[in-house]
Amino acid sequence: MNTFGSFCIIISVALLLFSLLQTIYGIAKKDSNAIELGRTTLMANAMVILLAFITLMTQLTRMDLSNYYVVMHSGEHLPIFYRITSIWSGSSGSLLFWNLLLNIFSFYVLYETRKLYSDRLPILNLVLGILAIFFSFLAVYFPDAQPFREFQPKAVVGRGLNPLLQHWAMIIHPPILYIGYVSFAIPFGVAMSALVTGSLSSDWLKQIRKWTLFSWFFLGVGILLGSKWAYEELGWGGYWAWDPVENASLMPWLLASAFIHSIIIEERRGMLKFWNMFLIILTFHFTLLGTWITRSGVLEGPHSFSKSTIGTPFIIFIIISFFIYIGILLYKKDKLQPERNLEALTSKEGSFFLNNFILVLACLVILLGVFSPLLYGKEFKSPWYNSWGVPAGILLLLLMGASPLLAWRKGADSIFFSTLAKPLLFGIISAFMYSILYSQFFTRSDYSISDTLGEVYSVLTIGLGAFTIAGIFQEFHRGILARREQFSGESYIGAGIQLLMKNKRRYGGYLVHFSMVLIFVGYAGNAFKENTSFRFFYTLSEPKGDEIVYRSQDKAFLGNYTIEAGNLRILPMINGEEQSEPNLFNVIVTQRAAYKIQRNQNHLEEMVTERRFYPQISHLSGGFETHIPTSEPAIHSSPKEDFYIQLGAIESGGDALENPDLSLMFMDYYFGSKNFLDKVNQARKFPTQIVANLEVWINPLVKLIWLGSVMFFLSGLYILLPIGTSRG
């Protein structure tokens, strides 16, 4: 099957080369037959890549150990579901997936335009064809992009999927992100076809807008899913670490956000034509850059992958492509003159200018931060990113609130009392109330030091968030009143629904803004985050069947929380089918600790947190290599705050200074005991006393982030789906 898969990729390169040559010939000689042949060949490539993808998926599900990718990313014990999703867990599989998505989207667009006669379409073919051939080229000539490399001689077993990826959010997060990344090739292609052919009336924006919203939506959802995964799975109490891979997805999303807003200006006022073209070129190349950052291994981070052979050709392609398109843009700049000028800086147009400025500057900040080891010889971390990110977020929140209320062409002073005053007043009152009440609202430890600047930022966030929400309600209210004047039979709610249905773009956009406010307010809770670690002392008890049990009666206190340690059990978990016979490959050694949590001396919950040790099996010998630890935090979530605990390392409680390797000892106990006496002897080898570390976080307002995320998803979906009517 490796041969067949490789053959598919080689055929893809040949097909695409043929397509490009035919298209170029057709453009040069104005030969419509050649252009059509070029297009159908490009469409056929989608089938070839799909075949290659199905081949790899078949190999993964069947555990074809002659394939290098299968050996390194899948395992016999894995449930079938994880074997399928491991197709995007590694470099070459995910690049094949990228290629597949690109071809599917290209096929769709080329099919959609099949009966049109326009000089733009061959250029669109060319742009998409060049992109597709690059990915197929990588898959043929560079080992780290080759999904059908032979593993000779055949491996004994598969190494299995990284246990961190065995989580529901990690299943859907990569494909959603990739859909966001890849689909941006379509609006980019359409824009470049308009630019190259000089057909630059503002109407081309309408088609691009749908695709841009589509990409922006999927990127945003992918980023939020990644945060959710990090929070639930990594056990470090946070959801965003400004990791290079995280930043790689955020940068194009910021630029896409800028573009979504600035095309409104071009549509309504005929301004920013040159800037919009520049922005779309920039955004698309940042999606490529994001893929490069994730796959090249040039920049190390906790999530990054090992250094890859595709790094150099990929960055060369990005640089050459970027400068070529910028060159075309500069050549065509005379055709992109604005129709009107900016008449007032505090007008709606002015606020969009500022919005673009902040979003693009924020992207630049992140870009410089990501490349800081290469550019400045130093690595900048979360505090530095936050020092720029938090004020940028606050300014964006201000613009989110103000922009919808401002008028076209007129300054804010002309509409202050009629439109801005009430929401502003509401925001100021909310900020004032919050500043009085927050010190009693949030849980504080006796020994923590307050974060003055963080508290100031949280007050600003609450005030501006309230201002934005009040503005949204005001807009809806005014729209409903206007509608009821026309349709007097409609109820208030009915009129509101009709408003939403008839003008999705505007009022759906307000819903998205609302979701962003919730998310930002959730972020503001970080100013009151508490984190500490406790050590609990345990004593060995009689083993229970296959479990080793330790008991404790220790207590700890944090703010108004009491944490009472109970049992700490070491037990086996079967990875894969529950009925499977336990063996070295499928047994996960689990350290499971239970804690009774009280708040204000009332019982809250018994929380159970774990550390799991997944077996890493050698693919060469089939023997046990080592354990890969993962975290399973326990989270008690309430609207006010999350109480988050994670079991940490376990140390010996006696005089011994070294940490016992309990997971390895358990393997001997579980697999090495032939009879009851063996079991008892093995159990006696465990330390009679241990000290377990427990990390505790109190994360205020996190629930708002997830609520805002769900709302972002629903409102974005509503805007994208063909329900209701969109008016420009």
Site for other proteins in 678-707 (CB under 8 A): 693, 695
Out of 207, 474, 539, 541, the only residue in the binding site for other proteins (CB under 8 A) is 207
Output the six-digit token pair for 626.
């080592």
- Residue 628 burial (CB count, 10 A): 15
Q: Does 364 bind other proteins (CB under 8 A)?
A: yes
Closest by alpha carbon to 510, among 470, 480, 459? 470
Q: Does 383 bind other proteins (CB under 8 A)?
A: yes
Helix (H, G, I), strand (E, B) or coil at 607: strand
Out of 32, 58, 312, 387, the only residue in the binding site for other proteins (CB under 8 A) is 387
Out of 30, 154, 340, 477, the only residue in the binding site for other proteins (CB under 8 A) is 340
Out of 53, 181, 216, 242, the only residue in the binding site for other proteins (CB under 8 A) is 242
Q: How far is the CB of 116 from other proteins (least distance, A)?
A: 5
Nearer to other proteins, 199 or 673 (CB): 199
The stretch among 88-96, 152-160, 178-186, 338-346 that binds other proteins (CB under 8 A) is 338-346
Out of 68, 135, 278, 353, the only residue in the binding site for other proteins (CB under 8 A) is 353
Q: How far is the CB of 626 from other proteins (least distance, A)?
A: 16
Helix (H, G, I), strand (E, B) or coil at 320: helix
Q: Does 333 bind other proteins (CB under 8 A)?
A: no
Cβ contacts of 538 within 8 Å, gap of 6 or more: 550, 551, 552, 565, 568, 653, 689, 690, 691, 692
- Residue 725 burial (CB count, 10 A): 10
Q: Which position has the token pair 């420009």?
A: 728
Q: Does 197 bind other proteins (CB under 8 A)?
A: no
Helix (H, G, I), strand (E, B) or coil at 22: helix
> Which amino acid, one-letter code, is at 460?
L
**Residues near other proteins (CB under 8 A), total:** 88
Output the six-digit token pair for 28.
């040069």
- Residue 664 burial (CB count, 10 A): 14
Out of 4, 357, 487, 492, the only residue in the binding site for other proteins (CB under 8 A) is 357
Rounded to whole angstroms, the Cα distance separating 691 from 696 reads: 16
Q: Does 727 bind other proteins (CB under 8 A)?
A: no
* Nearest-5° Cα angle at 652, 649 to 657: 100
Q: Does 162 bind other proteins (CB under 8 A)?
A: no
Q: Does 407 bind other proteins (CB under 8 A)?
A: no
The stretch among 128-136, 150-158, 215-223, 385-393 that binds other proteins (CB under 8 A) is 385-393
Q: Does 721 bind other proteins (CB under 8 A)?
A: no
Q: Does 365 bind other proteins (CB under 8 A)?
A: yes
Helix (H, G, I), strand (E, B) or coil at 274: helix
Nearer to other proteins, 64 or 610 (CB): 610
Cβ contacts of 331 within 8 Å, gap of 6 or more: none
Closest by alpha carbon to 526, among 303, 249, 229, 237? 237
Helix (H, G, I), strand (E, B) or coil at 643: strand
Q: Does 611 bind other proteins (CB under 8 A)?
A: yes
Out of 646, 663, 709, 715, the only residue in the binding site for other proteins (CB under 8 A) is 646
Q: Does 402 bind other proteins (CB under 8 A)?
A: no
Out of 25, 236, 473, 624, the only residue in the binding site for other proteins (CB under 8 A) is 236
Q: Does 382 bind other proteins (CB under 8 A)?
A: yes
Task: Tell me whether strands 602-617 and 561-574 are parallel, antiparallel or unpaired.
Answer: unpaired
Helix spans in 371-381 (H): 372-375
Q: How far is the CB of 334 from other proteins (least distance, A)?
A: 11
Out of 37, 288, 394, 565, the only residue in the binding site for other proteins (CB under 8 A) is 394
Q: How far is the CB of 317 from other proteins (least distance, A)?
A: 26
Q: Does 529 bind other proteins (CB under 8 A)?
A: yes
Q: Does 104 bind other proteins (CB under 8 A)?
A: no
Rounded to whole angstroms, the Cα distance separating 277 from 268 reads: 16
Rounded to whole angstroms, the Cα distance separating 552 from 595 reads: 10
Rounded to whole angstroms, the Cα distance separating 550 from 686 reads: 10
Q: In the window 291-310, what residues touch other proteins (CB under 8 A)?
A: 301-302
C-alpha dihedral sign at 212, 215, 221, 226: negative
C-alpha dihedral sign at 323, 327, 330, 336: negative
Kindly report whether the peptide bond that precedes residue 423 is cis, defined as omega within 30 degrees of 0.
Answer: no
Q: How far is the CB of 271 from other proteins (least distance, A)?
A: 9
Rounded to whole angstroms, the Cα distance separating 185 from 214 reads: 12
Q: Does 450 bind other proteins (CB under 8 A)?
A: yes
- Residue 721 burial (CB count, 10 A): 9
Q: In the window 175-194, what residues touch other proteins (CB under 8 A)?
A: none
For the window 556-595, what string marks contact with other proteins as x by the rule CB under 8 A? --x-------------------------------------
Nearer to other proteins, 22 or 351 (CB): 351
Q: Is 24 in contact with 126 (CB distance < 8 Å)?
A: yes
Out of 376, 408, 441, 492, the only residue in the binding site for other proteins (CB under 8 A) is 376
Q: How far is the CB of 214 from other proteins (least distance, A)?
A: 15
The stretch among 29-37, 52-60, 126-134, 360-368 that binds other proteins (CB under 8 A) is 360-368
The stretch among 173-181, 320-328, 530-538, 672-680 that binds other proteins (CB under 8 A) is 530-538
Q: Does 612 bind other proteins (CB under 8 A)?
A: no
Out of 343, 413, 661, 668, the only residue in the binding site for other proteins (CB under 8 A) is 343
Q: Is 24 in contact with 16 (CB distance < 8 Å)?
A: no
The stretch among 11-19, 57-65, 384-392, 462-470 that binds other proteins (CB under 8 A) is 384-392
Please report the DSSP string for 24-58 in residue order.
Answer: HHHHHHT-HHHHHHHHHHHHHHHHHHHHHHHHHHH
Q: How far is the CB of 638 from other proteins (least distance, A)?
A: 20
Q: Does 413 bind other proteins (CB under 8 A)?
A: no
Helix (H, G, I), strand (E, B) or coil at 677: helix
